[in-house]
Amino acid sequence: MEIPYTVTARADTGLWNAKIGIWLFLASEVMLFGGLFSGYVFLRLGAASTPDYDWPTELLNVPMGFVNTLILIGSSVTVILSWSALKLREYNKFKIWMSITLLCAVAFLGIKTVEYTEKFTGYGIFLNDGAEIKGKYATEQEGFVTIVPKYPEKAEAAGFTPAPATLAVHEGSYVIPVENVVRWSNFQPSYNTFYSIYFTLTGLHALHVIGGVVVLGYFLFFGGPMWRTNPEHLANRVEVGGLFWHFVDLVWIFLFPILYLM
Amino acid sequence: MAHSAEEIRSHVRFYIGVFVGLIILTILTVWIDQFHIGAEDSDVGNTIVGLAIATLKAGLVAAFFMHLTSEKPMIFRFLFATVAFVIAMFILMLLAHFDPIVPVFVQ
Amino acid sequence: MLNKLFGLAENASDHGLMIDHMLEVVHWFMLALFVGWTAFFILTLVKFRRSKNPKANYTGTKSKFSTHAEVGVVIVEAILLLGLALPLWTQRVNAFPTADQNPVNIRVVGQQFLFSIHYPGADNTFGRTSPEFVTDQNRVGLDPSDEAAQDDIVALNSFHVPTGRPTVMQLSSKDVIHNFAVYTMRVAQDMIPGSEIPMWFTPVRTGEWEVICGQLCGNGHYSMKAVMTVEGPAEFDAWLANQRPLVESL
Amino acid sequence: MASSTTPAPSTDSHQEHAHDEHHEHELGFWQKYIFSTDHKVIGIQYGLTALGFLLVGFGLMILMRWQLAYPGEAIPFIGNLLKNVLGDQMIGANNEMTPDLYNSFGAMHGTIMVFLGVVPLAFGAFGNYVVPLQIGAPDMAFPKLNMASYWSYLVGGVILLMSFFVPGGAAKSGWTSYSPLASFADTALQNPGIEYHMIFNGQTMWLLGMVFLISSSLLGSVNFITTIIQLRAPGLTWMRLPFFCWAQLVTAFLLLLAFPPLEVAAIMQLMDRLAGTSFFLPTGLIVNGAQVAISGGGSPLLYQHLFWFLGHPEVYVLILPAVGIVAEVITNNTRKPLWGYKSMVFATIILGFLSFVVWAHHMYLTGMGTKVSAFFQTTTVIISIPSVILITSLIISLWGGSIRFNTQMLFATAFLPMFGIGGLTGLPLAFSAIDLYLHDTYYVIAHFHYVVAPGTIFGLFAGIYYWYPKMSGRKMSERLGKMHFWPSLVFMNGIFLPMFIHGMAGFHRRWYDGGASYELAQNLLWLNKVMTISAFCLAIAQIPFIINLFISWKLGRKATDNPWDATTMEWATPTPPPHGNFLKPVTVYRGPYEYSVPGETRDFSPQWEPDSK
Ligand code: HEA
Ligand code: HEA
Ligand code: CUA
Ligand SMILES: [Cu+2]
């Protein structure tokens, strides 16, 4: 006997297997991101209750996040168009729309990479007196920490001096003695709680995007045989993959304002 | 899922409409973020507005792109439970956060 | 009585009696349920074994007994919850002693695998503490330059409290989660780094009582304990007066 | 696709038929037994692996019990061997167990028993083998996912086992892995004397292993739910579904929705360990006398919330399948219907729902105010009601039966009072004011072991004896079975009953020396020996079982297709069932437990047989 309802719907539930499967999977994903989201709120409330803790949303690149939002929403539309094309049995249109979807996904990941690089070349320095100086290209040499500060006035107020020629690797460098520094690093996950949650959330989301690319790419490049034998099955699979893709979009719709704006 | 070709074509037009709506809402979120809403020293106002718009957008995606408007009751049953549990997790964790034993030292 | 049978540790605090009482009541309830069910259970097994009852009865019992029993369980549980448990917890965490009860205030800081007990000293005000001051001599991180810190006393793993006066503690930790448990006082509370959790009790009997770390905290967890000496108020005052302020030894 | 063999008519008109996958071609050994997608093979793989892990978990505990009864004394017989295998950081000069080893065995005992032993056996093995048969399906809905689920489980398990042999040994922060302890455990920060590997250290491997186990459970639960919803044979309406399937369905939902938050916790803890973040680490930590170089700002309580959000549903994952098995066995051996089938189904569903909102009863001592604690006390008390309904219905089901005491029935009946003791002693823990006293004492250990060991484990034993003939075609020996049951019953109680007394006296759990250095413990230390000896005897009592399990596969008495005269559909297949399970499509005509129907000649009316009249 073969497994029934892989393609056709069961009469009393009106659903085929993979449809239930994907929704169940998405339910667990909702719990996953729900847990992360609860964690985010928990940590942020904790941060808010300490007097000088900052939540440096403003350091994220809003235009890039904005463009990425549009890209993901757009790809959500194209994936549904590719499914419609399959339903209409227009295989070439399916290929076109699906290719655009994948291109969107790659563009999204590309922009994300640029953003990550920006974070990894940005630096922050925590000083003994509690001040925090942000900028680019920090190094430590000869007992001094050098940085190209974002706001030089702020840096000078905090005791930085313009770097002598020997230490000025980059234009506009400022220096401060190591003794005055508690810690300094680039904007990596361990920089502070905001970056921890930022990298965790966006990193997990990016993994989902990559997963989506693999699945949808498989349909695009290896869907041919199935299209010839059982196009409805292929359409169902694309619908399932599409549901996952919409969910990835949906998560981003929340991540964007939470991380970039609020 | 016996959609006729004509139905699907009209759906497609509708998806495009939703797409446009989503773009407008995205622009709205970014635009509105310049203004400070609510009390002077708290960002609760902005947060609520931002989340409201995000929820609306997510609702559009779920309802139309993910076909929830025409989905079968079985799916709703467990999505309902899921959403209930997420909300419970969220609210109860916050409740626990906001209801500690109040430290009181009688000096 | 059941408590005795089960070997419950003796109680030496004011509110402990209420906890013991509740423990006793709950166990009577459980015992009653267990005995009732077991009796029925064994009777059934004997009565309906195959050799005695070769033909099973399709319908089984029609009696509403189980519904009554379940409703009974609900009612008793509701009484236990509303009548005993909730008020008791409220009394524990909301009804902290007021100034006119003249409480003894102490801070307890846990670390792997020690308890440091911080008394505010004569001014009854705790000096400022901060992690950067922590050393092996200054385990609570007392700021030596702080006015209020000058008379603060810090005891290690062994400390005194008086009878008759409530002791209010604020618990915290420097590294991992510990738990400050004095089973004879019927109190226990986690010591969580980054937060201060208050707890109180009023000793009614003198003696030397063990303080246990009740939360896994590393390989020395089993040996993390302190001795709490409960003595009369006069002896306590004398003991306290004898302690040298921490700053003197820094 | 082949609608000729599909029970329900296909609704899709423009449906092309694929003709390529029709013929059963002979599969090679690897595909048939190792990388199989057949739910029965996967079920047996799950079962054997899980039994192996149970044995490992038990073995760890035997060594720990030795330490508890004879603290600091050399481990007899295998002390030297262990020293060679685990290194002298773990085994002391005198061949005794070190505190680190004790903690690590404790953590791994809990982890292995819960995540690698009981859940895979109850859910993975029985669920996989029995559920598709009981609902009349040819296989699981997603056979490949099913295989992935097993392999993910195995990888997770192997990672956890390997972690015993890395420098510093396996995870040692309890099965709960509370941060900050677990964030620093197995790092040079906590223990400068040992050279830890960045990834291959106990706690990190624990977390990685958990990620695999969680993925396995998620895949499994998606598969189970879809299967039960979609692949029920025609006529098998929801209220005709065997109770075991209901139990598995609710269990699957618990796994599906409760595990992701644990995954979040695991990911965050991994980030804390590997990327230096501070999700669970507050500002100002001082470990080993030095300030920890982290940003701080995290919350240790966040970890506990995420962990226990899984943790409590997880305990019902441990118990529900066992309740399901017991229900099957009891009806079969009392030869009468399940009393209160409907209320049991609803009780199970309600239990499932409520189990998501009681988690903080494990956190009463974390500084909870009145409102939260009142909420969680109330929900915890309420959740005991459906449990009472389940147990009561099962006991009343016995009434009026014609009880056949074969081995599986003995285990199933013993389950009831054992679960009763475990469940009842959950009540005092539910009230925060007295949990204040009992928290983290051996009372808690006794409470949950009564539920999971003489409870769940007995239920699982019942299931093994009951379904063994279907899997192997032969029955297990009754004599060996009874030699297994009676000593197990006695010694289980010998281990766990004294723990209540210890708990009341204030013995705390996770004590390396079993209380030897505590004044409160002096009068009761002898009970440790009682428990330890009982544990040894319990181990010996498992020997007949192991012999029985293997010997009967070849030598047991041959079983017919329906050896227990049962009514549910797994017995409609040939024994053992072929690939695809049923020889011809089955249809269901009645409820699951139609035993001793008045007016019938036989005392059972199988679900798959049409009315004779
Ligand atoms: C399968 C596992 C399982 C089950 C079913 C339960 C069931 C229950 N548990 Fe338990 N529990 C655990 C496993 C389980 N628990 C574990 C593993 C821990 C410790 C984790 C750790 O810290 O490591 C724990 C810890 C634990 C705590 C925390 C204690 C502490 O750390 O301080 C609490 C507190 O409320 C609690 C409560 C309950 C309650 C109220 C139930 C209720 O659901 C019980 C309801 C059942 C009944 C009320 C029985 C009814 C029966 C009868 C009335 C009939 C009697 C029958 C006969 C005599 C034949 N449990
Ligand atoms: C499902 C869960 C489960 C099960 C079944 C058990 C079973 C047992 N447990 Fe365990 N235990 C835990 C979960 C479990 N435990 C947890 C979560 C903890 C807390 C850990 C922590 O502190 O973090 C704990 C802690 C714990 C402690 C406390 C340690 C401490 O705090 O210091 C003790 C002490 O005695 C103990 C003892 C036992 C014993 C004697 C058994 C016995 O009942 C074992 C019986 C086992 C069997 C009967 C196995 C049968 C299997 C076979 C015979 C296999 C056959 C094999 C083949 C055919 C291949 N356990
Ligand atoms: Cu400190 Cu255990
Ligand atoms: Cu629980």
CA–CA separation, D184 vs D378, rounded Å?
36
* CB contact burial C174-187 (16+ within 10 A = b; e otherwise): bbbbbbbbbbbbbb
What chains are in contact with B, requiring at least 3 Cβ pairs below 8 Å?
A, C, D
CA-based nearest residue to A123, from A72, A34, A180, A183 = A183
**pLDDT number for residue D21:** 42
Instruction: Judge whether D15 is closer than 8 Å to chain B, CB to CB.
Output: no
Q: What is the DSSP letter of C197?
A: E
Does A186 or C223 have the greater pLDDT score? Answer: C223
**pLDDT number for residue D283:** 87
Of C22, C33, C74, the CB nearest to D434: C22
Query: Could you give the angle at which helices B73-98 and D300-334 cross, rounded to 10 degrees?
Result: 130
Hey, CA dihedral for D310, D313, D316, D320, is it positive or negative? negative
- 3-class DSSP assignment, residue D303: helix
Which listed ligand is nearest to C176 at the C-alpha? 3
- 3-class DSSP assignment, residue D87: coil
Q: What is the mean pLDDT of chain D?
A: 91
A70·B23 Cβ contact <8 A: yes
Instruction: Judge whether B22 is closer than 8 Å to chain A, CB to CB.
Output: yes
Q: Would you tell me which residues 48-77 of chain A have a C-beta closer than 8 angstroms to some C-beta of chain B?
A: 62, 66, 69-70, 73-74, 76-77
CB C182 within 8 A of CB C228: yes
**pLDDT number for residue D25:** 56
Q: What is the DSSP letter of D522?
A: G
CB A214 within 8 A of CB A105: no
Q: Is the pLDDT of residue B46 over 90?
A: no
The DSSP H or E segment spanning C199 is strand C197-201
CA end-to-end span of chain D:
35
Please state which of the ranges A183-192, A214-223, B36-45 shows the lowest mean pLDDT: B36-45
CA distance D256 to chain A (A): 6
Neighbours of C223 (CB within 10 A): 14
For D478, the token pair is 């009754």
CB B27 within 8 A of CB A261: no
Q: Is the pLDDT of residue B105 over 80?
A: no
Residue C188 forms beta bridges with which residues?
Answer: C181
CA–CA separation, A209 vs A108, rounded Å?
9
Neighbours of D40 (CB within 10 A): 22
Q: Is the pLDDT of residue A124 over 60?
A: yes
pLDDT tens-digit series, residues B59-88: 999 888 888 888 888 899 889 999 999 999
**pLDDT number for residue D361:** 95
For C109, phi and psi rounded to 5 degrees?
Answer: -115, 125
Hey, CA dihedral for D47, D52, D53, D54, is it positive or negative? positive
C-alpha torsion D248→D253→D254→D256, nearest 10: 120
Question: How many helices (H) does chain C have, and how many strands (E)?
Answer: 5, 10
CB A20 within 8 A of CB B75: yes
Write out chain A in H/E/C secondary structure: CCCCCCCCCCCCCCCCHHHHHHHHHHHHHHHHHHHHHHHHHHHHHHHHCCCCCCCCHHHCCHHHHHHHHHHHHHHHHHHHHHHHHHHCCCHHHHHHHHHHHHHHHHHHHHHHHHHHHHHHHEEEEEECCCCEEEEEEEEEECCEEEEEECCHHHHHHCCCEECCCCCCCCCCCEEEEHHHEEEEEECCCCCCHHHHHHHHHHHHHHHHHHHHHHHHHHHHHHCHHHHHHCHHHHHHHHHHHHHHHHHHHHHHHHHHHHHHHC
CA–CA separation, D183 vs C157, rounded Å?
26
Ligand 3 atom nearest to CA at D510: 2
Instruction: Spell out which residues line ligand 2, taking CB within 6 angstroms.
Output: D 51-52, 54-55, 58, 61, 65, 106-107, 109-110, 113-114, 118, 174-176, 318, 445, 449, 452-453, 457, 495, 509-510, 535, 542, 545-546, 549
For atom 11 of ligand 2, the residue with the nearest CA is: D110
CA-based nearest residue to A150, from A174, A180, A183, A176 = A174
Tell me, using a 6 A CB cutoff, whether residue C109 lines ligand 3: no
For B34, the token pair is 């310049």
Q: Would you tell me which residues 138-197 of chain D have a C-beta closer than 8 angstroms to some C-beta of chain A?
A: 138-143, 145
D371 Cα–ligand 4 center, Å: 19
Q: What is the DSSP letter of D360?
A: G
* CB contact burial A235-258 (16+ within 10 A = b; e otherwise): bbbbbbbbbbbbbbbbbbbbbbbb
Which stretches of chain D drop beneath a pLDDT of 70? 1-27, 612-613
Widest CA span of chain B, in angstroms? 79
Helices (H), chain C: 2-6, 16-47, 65-79, 86-93, 233-242
**pLDDT number for residue C249:** 84
B79·A27 Cβ contact <8 A: yes
For atom 40 of ligand 2, the residue with the nearest CA is: D535
- pLDDT tens digit at each of 250 positions of chain C: 677 777 788 888 988 999 999 999 999 999 999 999 999 999 999 999 988 888 888 887 777 777 888 888 899 989 999 888 898 888 888 888 888 888 999 999 999 999 999 999 888 889 998 888 898 889 998 998 988 888 899 999 999 999 989 999 999 999 999 999 999 999 999 999 988 899 999 999 999 999 999 999 999 999 999 999 999 999 999 999 999 999 888 7
pLDDT tens-digit series, residues C28-45: 999 999 999 999 999 999
D315 Cα–ligand 4 center, Å: 7
The DSSP H or E segment spanning D309 is helix D300-334
CA–CA separation, D523 vs D528, rounded Å?
11
**pLDDT number for residue D439:** 94
D286·C90 Cβ contact <8 A: no
For C55, phi and psi rounded to 5 degrees?
Answer: -115, 125
ipTM over 0.90: yes
**pLDDT number for residue D6:** 34
